[in-house]
A and B are shown apart, each in its own frame.
Chain A
Amino acid sequence: MALTVLRGGHIVDPATGQDAIGDVWFEDGRVVERPDGRSADKEIDVSGHIVMAGAIDIHSHIAGGNVNTARLLLPELHRAIRARLAGTPLSTAKWSSYETGRLYAQMGFTTVVEPAMAPHHALQTHLEFNDVPIIDKGALTVLGNDDFLLGMLRDGEKDGAINDYVAQTVENTRSLGLKCINPGGVEAFKENMRAFGLDDVVPFYGLTSRQIFQALQKATQAVGIAHPLHLHMNNLGLAGNIDTALATIDAAQGLPLHLAHVQFYAYGKEGKNGFSSAGAIFAEKINANPNVSVDVGQVMFSDTVTISSDVLKQFNSLPGAIPKKGAIFDGDANGGGIVPYAYKISNYYNAVQWAAGLELFLLIENPEQVFFTTDHPNGGPFTTYPELFALLMSADLRAQHLSRLPADVLEHTTLPSISREYTLYEIAQMSRSGAAKLFGFEDRGRLGAGAVADIAVYKPGRDVAGMFRRASYVFKDGNLVVRDGEVSHYTRGKTLHIRPRYDREITKRLDTYYDDLYGLPRSIFDVPDAALPHKDAFAEVPCRI
């Protein structure tokens, strides 16, 4: 592939500390040092532009059975309106896997992590990934409501066996790490519990949520998974759940822990509605606990749908569905609940949620500790990221929005008092360098020599959201895939996965377990290469040890 240079752009690359005018060279899909004695085969003048590595979305529900159920549940949410361009089949089919790849690429995103892959439905997630063009994908495997794990913990088995099980499940489902969703709470819901807190006990297992997530947290570290345990805590969405969040952080034992969509846990009980933002208290706690990282799950005012493997929570949300319908799936372990919803700026609760999310962004000091998700599509679609970045970068823009919120909201959030504005460098820390570190990616989220040539070039202007919505150029593995905000053709991205080491004895034990319990061969849940339409669908990411 041609030696290419992007000439004279403003490089913003926190991983290498660059924040200055310079050139970026790449060849054969990788960033290279400027080669001595060779001139570029292709030179692109990007003066007046911002040059960043391709962005990484660490938590976005883009694939899998629950996402597909949402598609089928809500045809009215995604009517297409425009024919596609040549060479990009289904790219305007709204909410299709193809459109997902196109829209992410247009925003300069080149890697996206689907955070909730059920072990027994992994193949479908991977088949859907295969049909998301251009970008690289990865998934987190969900454990923590599965009988095999809970049974081992109940029986007091040694850490070694638990570690082997965790590593085997991650390898076999071909993911990047572990997610834990309302640990024990979903199993408890099957036994008709309707609420489940950090220290409630799972019926028949005698375990608390706290014990389950701590065990998984330790196992994640022990087997060398770079990404900390990705935890969806108990009591999502409930007034006063800040207490759960603070107690969970205290329970983290100082070990690495990633808390998902924390906006949904930043609620106090102040005011006449008994619902207030606790974003400031939460942010203070994060600042004091560097072992904890978070993504926000920002609410953006829009019609959307909530997709979650926290079946207990989703069942409880059904009466508030907009429009009034939903799907509740009691899966082999977690399952899923799909409940449509509309966030309105005029709604007191939604406005508090919006403000709480922004407080978290603006009060957490380290941009590599907080990530920009909307928990797509739960707080809003990923296509609202450009508006979100604009809000973070402009106190004026936030003030304009604040003036439209119900007046009493302002009494229950500190947002009006916050003047911080993110710089482009901080946006890049959150969406590039920090995100890469969070998953142990050493060759992406950066523009240093050797990095994958995933590059986003933006034309700055007064419309910050517009700049991020339509990148001027996007290169994926060195291929120009976006020009002036339009995808010109598809390339095929990879699915990233890790292979933690473990003692293979566990697989025999699992075989016996599946035979005995389900009367099915365990291999029925496998993700073999032969099941996917294309060879080389996967790329392995090294483990930490």
Chain B
Amino acid sequence: METATLDGKAIALDDAYRHAAKILSGAAFPLVAGLGADVAGARAAILLAEQLRGAFDHLASRETLADIDVKRSFGMFTTTANEARLRGDCVVLIGPGLTRAWPGMLERLALSQPPRRGAQAEQPRKVIWLGPEGDEASAVPGAKVIPASAQELSGVLAAWRARFGGRPVALDADKVSLIDGLVETLKNARFGVFAWSASTLDPLAIEMLQGLVIELNATTRFTGVHIGGRSGASGVTQTAGWMTGFPPRTGFGRGYPEHDPWRFEALRLVESGEADAALWISAFDGEKPAWSHADIPLITLAPANAAPSRGLFIEVGQPGVTHDAVLMSQETGGMTLRKASAPTDAPSVAQAISAIMAEVSEGAWR
């Protein structure tokens, strides 16, 4: 049964859509945030934000923009998980919690099997893990573990790159010798792959890593697999890209998209009072907004168990669980249709927004 509540009390679904439309169209600068949605949901949400001349942001934008900032200021080498699996003879995992960010990673990259293509086909795969979390690396027999705390990752990558370039580093001889050994392994790789998640690396560390990739490519082949952010971040970013030219943190106040990672950050817009109404979308797991207090009208689209006690709530289904959904797939690096695993009648984000839009607009383009 589809549900909607207003300040915790049940209201009719039609009334909820009408009320949502009234809140959003009455706002001077409404915000579409969270954006935890499939491609269809993101598409509807962005069209709504455009129609309302508001702004949109995604709940994992910090991570997404860490990768994008490196790409657009420096450049980036990437490959698919499939190529890493088939050809990667030296796979270097960077940082803790990769298996949390991507539960299927170890299986997908087939780390305990040899590569199947290229110069090192059927030779044992070298796996190195810098700074894993707890016993995360024990699932990969033979992996060489280099302990490092999350705070140390940037420094270690800088030291690797310095030694690769033959530059001195202020470390003891033992460590320098360890690093030099590692650098030799990287140089001898035929198709090396770094895997990282921006949830544990800042942009400068990612840039350091990519700088090392470029330098390694002077003589051999090396590339990277980046692990996308939670709540459909990669698919939403791609969708925003073709629709507006920009990733999330984009506003339409002037009637055309402007991208500004500071200006259109959801948290800042709410806490500063610049946004005077918000639509919070979190269809995967009902993650709550990061703002601690908000005096503005709030509409939440989330699964049933995530109803907030305040504001307007409209239940939506979970993408790929309760309804079919197009999502960016970490295992292929491309978009794919995920069939519903436990179908229900709950509306998708796209359907809910479509119902709101029908009450808003100039004759909406959908």
Contact = CB atoms under 8 A, between A and B. Distances in A.
Interface in B233-252: 237-239, 241-247
Contact of A526 (B50, B243, B331, B337): B337
B273 interface: no
Given A191-B118, A332-B82, A526-B337, A96 B74 contact: no
Contact of B242 (A71, A192, A520): A71
A68 B242 contact: yes
Q: What's the dominant secondary structure at chain A's contact region?
A: loop
Interface string A513-528: 0000111100011101
A520 B332 contact: yes
A123 B336 contact: yes
Given A80-B256, A98-B243, A89 B80 contact: no
B207 to A, nearest CB: 11
Contacts of A80: 245, 256-258
A189 B223 CA distance: 12
B28 interface: no
A93 B116 contact: no
A92 interface: yes
Contact of A78 (B39, B221, B245, B363): B245
Interface in B77-127: 77-80, 82-83, 85-87, 107-108, 110, 116-119, 121
Contacts of A72: 68, 71-72, 237, 241, 246-247
Contact of B39 (A74, A94, A127): A127
A95 interface: yes
Interface string A71-88: 111110011111110111
Contacts of A204: 117-118, 121
A90 B333 CA distance: 27
Interface in A40-82: 63, 65, 67-69, 71-75, 78-82
Given A93-B256, A518-B85, A123 B335 contact: yes
Interface stretch (A231-239, A321-329, A346-354, A363-371): A321-329
A81 B257 CA distance: 9
Contact of B256 (A73, A82, A128): A82
Given A90-B244, A97-B243, A124-B238, A325 B75 contact: yes
A517 B87 CA distance: 11
B79 A93 contact: no
B74 to A, nearest CB: 6
A516 to B, nearest CB: 10
Contacts of B238: 65, 68, 124
A543 to B, nearest CB: 26
A84 B255 contact: yes
B220 interface: yes
A267 B217 CA distance: 28
B365 A87 contact: yes
Contacts of B298: none
B242 A128 contact: yes
Given A78-B245, A524-B336, A328 B256 contact: no
Nearest to A339: B75
A292 to B, nearest CB: 33
Contacts of B326: 123, 127, 531
A490 to B, nearest CB: 6
Interface in A364-389: none
User: Which interface residue of B78, B86, B329 has the most chain A CB atoms within 10 A?
Assistant: B78
B191 interface: yes
Interface residues of B, number: 67
Contact of B75 (A127, A128, A326, A331): A326
A83 B256 CA distance: 5
Contacts of A65: 238, 334
B50 A90 contact: yes
Interface string A431-448: 000000000000000000
Contacts of B79: 329-331, 335
Nearest to B116: A517
B356 interface: no
Given A192-B221, A518-B85, A525 B117 contact: no
A73 B72 contact: yes
B326 to A, nearest CB: 5
Interface string A120-149: 110110011001010000000000000100
Contact of A327 (B75, B191, B255, B363): B75
Nearest to B73: A325
Contact of B334 (A90, A94, A120): A120
A83 to B, nearest CB: 3
A128 B243 CA distance: 8
Nearest to A86: B362
Contacts of A189: 221
User: Which interface residue of B40, B76, B241 has the most chain A CB atoms within 10 A?
Assistant: B241
Interface string B285-323: 000000000000000000000000000000000000000
B269 interface: no
A518 B82 contact: yes
A533 B324 CA distance: 12
Contacts of A525: 332, 334, 336
A89 B49 CA distance: 11
A376 to B, nearest CB: 15
A189 B82 CA distance: 17
B366 interface: yes
A318 interface: yes
A139 B75 CA distance: 28
A109 to B, nearest CB: 19
Contacts of A332: 80, 82-83, 332
A93 B257 contact: yes
B43 interface: yes
User: Which interface residue of B47, B78, B335 has the most chain A CB atoms within 10 A?
Assistant: B335
Contacts of B334: 65, 120-121, 123-124, 525
A211 B160 CA distance: 43
Contact of A318 (B43, B75, B78): B75
A131 B43 contact: yes
Given A121-B334, A191-B119, A327-B78, A71 B256 contact: no
A332 B82 CA distance: 7
Contacts of A328: 75-78, 223
Interface string B36-74: 000110010001001100000000000000001001111
A127 B337 CA distance: 11
A520 B71 CA distance: 29
B331 to A, nearest CB: 7
B259 interface: yes
Contacts of B163: none
A1 interface: no
B190 interface: yes
B63 to A, nearest CB: 15
Given A124-B334, A330-B77, A520-B82, 8 more contacts: A68-B241, A80-B257, A80-B258, A84-B256, A124-B238, A191-B221, A330-B80, A526-B336
19 contacts: A65-B334, A71-B246, A72-B241, A72-B247, A73-B71, A78-B245, A90-B50, A90-B244, A92-B256, A120-B334, A127-B39, A191-B118, A203-B119, A204-B117, A325-B71, A330-B221, A518-B86, A526-B336, A530-B337
Interface of B: 39-40, 43, 47, 50-51, 68, 71-80, 82-83, 85-87, 107-108, 110, 116-119, 121, 190-191, 217, 220-221, 223, 237-239, 241-247, 254-259, 324, 326, 329, 331-337, 350, 362-363, 365-366
Interface of A: 63, 65, 67-69, 71-75, 78-84, 86-90, 92-98, 120-121, 123-124, 127-128, 131, 133, 147, 189-192, 203-204, 315, 318, 321, 325-332, 335, 490, 517-520, 524-526, 528, 530-531, 533
Please give me the 5 A-B residue pairs with the lowest Cβ-Cβ distance, nearest first.
Answer: A83-B255, A80-B256, A330-B79, A531-B337, A325-B75
